[in-house]
Amino acid sequence: MDISSVEPAGLNQPPVELGSDSFAGLYQTHNREIYYLALRLLGDPHKAEDATHDVFLKAYRKQNDFRGDSSWRTWLYRIAINHCSNLRQSWHNRNVIPNSEDSVWENTAARADSPLRVLETKELGQRIQQTLDQLSEEYRLLLLLVADEELSYEEIAALTDQSADAVRGKLHRARKAFAVFFQKTSG
Amino acid sequence: MKQEKKFAPSEQQHASDVRSQQSTEREFASVEELLRYDAEQTIVPAEIAQRLQRSTARFSPPAARPWWKRLFGGANL
């Protein structure tokens, strides 16, 4: 079964079950998004590799828990978010994230709204990671989720346990914060 | 017959140095666009799939849900 073409079951349809071939298709379809999320949340490629493996293994073992009331990707994202969050809480080496007041971003509206011009260098990924590390965990997660064009605001809201309007408002501030910090990484 | 101009070794090295130092400037309209580009450049380690294959082989596939659970979504009857 080609899992990439399978639509999630609706409320009145039986949940889709995965065989081993379909699980392979599930991995093939969604591995990049899950790995990238883990990479940017954890900031370490080795940790991201372990986390991605653990997320998909959990999905394989818990596939019967999938009710079909969300997409496969959203379900995988939920597992990944919880997994990475648990990892970070267990490390005891969190970066101190300054809880900047909103007025800081309001004063930098002009710069934050301008396009991001960057040199396409191999250091771009490092700059992005440095920038994300400066943000609160919530802002970081929201930006990473909204970057996935397959996720709607409603799905992001469900993943982060808040309303879509709250997501929109926080994303507005998160984008500004990212732009400000990103410009500082250019040296 | 045309004579092909060949770079002298010093010229070849200079050309190579210039090419390696040049970077393309890109413009991203939004943070999301920047992150999407970053994601596209990210290579997922092939080892993950190999590890997963070994890991899932250790577990038997989850038992299929009973037909009535599949039909009614696990509702209590």
Query: What is the per-residue pLDDT across B31-74, written as a single tens digit (0 to 9) for each?
Result: 999 999 999 999 999 999 999 999 988 876 666 666 566 566 65
Q: Which of B35, B41, B56 sits opposite A147 (nearest CB)?
A: B35
What global pTM score does this model have?
0.73
- For chain A, which ranges sit under pLDDT 50? 1-17, 96-113
Strands B24-28 and A116-120, bridge-based pairing: antiparallel
User: Which residue in A58, A78, A75 sits closest to A67, CA to CA?
Assistant: A75
Per-window interface: A 1-40 vs B, CB < 8 A: 11, 14-15, 17, 19-20, 23, 27, 31-33, 35-36, 39-40
User: What pLDDT does B18 receive?
Assistant: 47
Q: What does the pLDDT look like over A4-46, one tens digit per residue?
A: 333 333 333 434 445 556 888 899 999 999 999 999 999 999 9
Model pLDDT, residue B29: 92
Residue A147 contacts B, CB cutoff 8 Å:
yes
Instruction: Calculate helix-pair angle for A164-184, A137-146, nearest 10 degrees.
Output: 100
Angle ∠(A54,A11,A55) on CA atoms, nearest 5: 5
Q: In this predicted complex, what is the ipTM?
A: 0.78
